[in-house]
A and B are shown apart, each in its own frame.
Chain A
Amino acid sequence: MASEAVAHESEHHAPPPQVAADVIAQELIATTTGATGRFKAWAWILGILSIAGIVALIVKFIDQGDDSTKWGYVAAMVSFLLSLAGGAPMVAMAPVMAKANWVRPITRIASLFSFAGVATLIMLIPLVAILPPLVTEGARRRTVWFMAPDYSPHFWTTLGLVLLLVTGIMLFYSAALPDFASMRDHSTGWRQRLGKRLARGWVGTDAQWRTLRMRIGMFGTFYFFILVFVNFLISTDFGQSMVPGWRDAIFPMYHTVSGFQAGVAGVVIALYFSRKYMKLEKYVHMDAFWSLGRLLFALTLLWIYFFYSSFIVFWYGRSENDIATLDLLIKGPMMPVFIAAMLLIWFVPWWILIWNKVRRGTGAMVVGSFIILIGLLLDRIRTFVPAWSVPPDQIHEKWLKVIPDAYWPSIFDVLIMVGGISLVALIVMLMTRVIPVLSVWQVQEFNLLSKPIKYIRGHATLVAKPD
């Protein structure tokens, strides 16, 4: 079988050759050691930028902690990081539930993004302190909290984000137990000690495997429910409720779906670099990129669907608050940012990803993913910066009477944004030093359940789906 697969390697649709289980364990565990000079250099750069971002956040809080109109870029970053770090683990979940075999080797890299939720939480802390209470100067603004206590959004949103972080880490840990056992068995030094401690006596009995499957399913389901909920809270409490008259039932879903888009784009980027620089071509097959490409393309189309569904209500409505909301978010001072965002999050990636040839490669896919993330960042900026630029004494009015001027980022805002993105990248990179970037047992399971076969005069992969 192996020789047949190797013979087909040069052909376009030849299934990838299978790798022996012991080789998989040894090679993937070896990826955690021996970081290259380039890796270390990037880790240092990202570390310095992350620290600079956190320092800038603290300084900004001390300097501008009493003026909420200056915090739009931090709000945009919370939303962006939630989309990227929160959306990526869904790639580790949704296709697995749909019994897709291609996703098994890449679920680890997607679930590593759960740890990057720490960056979102760090950004949220000062924002929660600055978020105006529900009642300001005796007037209550319109929120989903109705007559709830004044600081309800502050408490429940923070709790929701912490819950998302914990569930994401539990989802990661649940699926990582067998790999910690592999590290206990085959690694050395502190990694072996860590593996022994975290494997919790895993030996691979039938009961352990059965509960592992169950808890991945359970935590995955919880993760999805909580992610959608946190997106709802962030988009309403930190976006819509800051603007008088912005009433949009579609916006929370728009926020969530574009978060999934960012998550898939983030996974494509992380997969591309780990595959290229950790020499993982024989484990991360093109099939994974094709499938992610289709997913990314579908989500890119969904962006325009949700945007248009939301926009048309305001455009047709033409009430005072509809006009003011469109002026604030789209037609007013943020118009250039909106156009750039729409081009980068939808039109350009749509035009790139529409081609089969592109989705069957890696280079253009990763370029498209970077473009989507830039577009998403701009989209979050054009949404949250004007929302937060509304003075607190006006947020309880019926609609916005005066559109605030565009607020340009200060040096602190730039440092915070660069630092936040760097922290996400750094966390994911450092986690690849702790545990194999590809799940050892899932790569082995991938090989166990799929066999390259000759099918009439062509080639195919026979996949068993016993779950």
Chain B
Amino acid sequence: MSTQSILGLFQQPESAADAMDGLKEAGFELGTFDVLTGTPYPEGAFGEYVPQHRLFRFPAFGAIIGFTLSIFLTSVTQLAYPMVTGGKPILSIFAMLIIMYEMTMLAGVIATVIGIVFESRLPNMKPGIYDTRITEGWIGVVVTFDDDSKVADAESVLNKAGALEIKHAK
């Protein structure tokens, strides 16, 4: 049994949305079909499955790490070389703020870059079935299945919704 995908191409977004509805009604599981567009349509425009993302966790995690490291760095250096200045305590928060801010930002940015690699599924080494007309405004509805017997059902749904072309890939 091999994974197979088909791609239905539509010019009208309403037709693509009909195809997505049809696939749901035909019993295809959420996550086995997706919509490909060259433009970011508003979320839910095609009635598509909207998975939860965790991208916000990466910068938050990075910022916490950076902030902690910066407190460690500034505190340890000041405690290692204690000098009282202007009657202020050895660990003066305002003298530490600049480095704390910069290290928090630094770690936040690095973690965000790492997060993007994970969450965007990029680099996508096996982009799968695709058509260059999608970046010209066409809309693709891609269906993936392990069971070859469902191919005909999916084609039927896509054709019924008005697919202008259906492409196959193994």
The answer for the CA separation of A174 and B40 in the assembled complex, in Å, is: 14
Nearest B residue to A446, CB-CB: B39
Closest to B118 in A: A211
The verdict on B28 contacting chain A, using a C-beta distance below 8 Å, is no
B108 at the interface (CB under 8 A from A): yes
Q: Is B154 in the interface zone, CB < 8 Å from A?
A: no
Instruction: State whether A226 touches B135 (Cβ < 8 A).
Output: no
Asked whether A170 is an interface residue with its Cβ less than 8 Å from the other chain, the reply is yes
Which of B39, B59, B108, B121 sits near A445, CB closer than 8 Å?
Answer: B39
State the main secondary structure of chain A at its contact with B. helix
Chain B residue total in the interface (Cβ 8 A): 55
Shortest Cβ distance from B86 into A: residue: A146
Q: Per-residue CB proximity of B75-101 to A under 8 Å, as 1/0?
A: 001000001010000001011001101
Given contacts A201-B123, A448-B41, contact A214 B53 (CB under 8 A): yes
The answer to whether residues A207 and B120 also contact, given A160-B102, A163-B105, A212-B40 and a CB cut-off of 8 A, is: yes
Pairwise interchain contact A225-B105, C-beta atoms closer than 8 A: yes
Interface residues of A in 197-237 (CB under 8 A from B): 200-215, 218-219, 222, 225-226, 229, 233
Name B13's closest neighbour in chain A (CB-CB): A448
Chain A residues with CB under 8 Å of B124's CB are 200-203
The answer to the question of A144 belonging to the interface, with a C-beta cut-off of 8 Å to chain B, is yes
| A178 close to chain B: CB less than 8 A | yes
Q: Does A167 contact B (CB under 8 A)?
A: yes
Q: Which of B42-50, B145-153, B160-168 contacts A (4 or more CB under 8 A)?
A: B42-50
Query: A201 touching B125 by the CB < 8 A rule?
Result: yes
A149 to B99, CA, bound (A): 12
Q: Is B102 a contact partner of A229 (Cβ separation < 8 A)?
A: yes
B71 at the interface (CB under 8 A from A): no
Contact call A211/B137, Cβ cutoff below 8 A: no
User: Which listed residue (B34, B46, B98, B137) contacts A444, Cβ 8 A?
Assistant: B137
A203 touches B36 (CB 8 A): yes
Looking across the interface, which residue of chain B has its beta carbon closest to that of A448? B39
Looking at the assembled complex, report how far the CB atom of B14 sits from the nearest CB atom of chain A, in whole angstroms. 13
Interface bits B29-61 vs A (CB < 8 Å: 1, else 0)? 000001111111111011011110101100100
- A185-B132, A207-B120 are contacts. A219–B40 as well, Cβ < 8 Å? no
Are A21 and B137 closer than 8 Å at their CB atoms?
A: yes
Smallest CB–CB gap between A2 and chain B, Å? 15
Whether A222 and B102, one on each chain, are in contact in the complex, defined by CB atoms closer than 8 angstroms, is no
* Pair A181/B135 contact, Cβ less than 8 Å: yes
Q: Which single member of A147, A210, A212, A225 contacts B95 (CB below 8 Å)? A: A147
